[in-house]
Amino acid sequence: MLVLNDKEVKYCRLLNPDADLTNSYLGISYQGFLLTSIGSFTYQQYKLALEICNQCLLESEQMFFLIKSKNKISLCCEVPGLSIIKEPTESPD
């Protein structure tokens, strides 16, 4: 598990190879990992976010990340097979 600041990651459009181009979604790129958000938490829920992330790590072989932004903490995981269809940028827009 890594805990990152949102300034350390880049946002991109991702595509699952089992879907068509109309099913792309916002994802995150970090040092070769392509990540998708699977939950978000307030800063008051930080301890809960850590606990859930640790539980995910115990139950899966995937990589998990907590990404802190200005207003929330996102729980993200690596999903094998995803591809980038829009190059990474600094902001999610």
- pTM to 2 decimal places: 0.82
3-state secondary structure of 68: strand
**What is the C-alpha separation between 33 and 12, in angstroms, rounded?**
12
Check if the beta carbon of residue 52 is closer than 8 Å to that of residue 45: no
The pLDDT assigned to 50 comes to: 92
CATH of the domain spanning 2-88: 3.30.200
> Binning pLDDT at 50, 70 and 90, where does residue 20 land?
low
The pLDDT assigned to 1 comes to: 83
Residue 23: pLDDT over 90? no
Q: Where are the domains of the chain?
A: 2-88
Tens digit of each residue's pLDDT (9 = 90 or more) over 31-84: 988 998 989 999 999 999 999 999 988 898 888 999 999 999 999 998 888 888
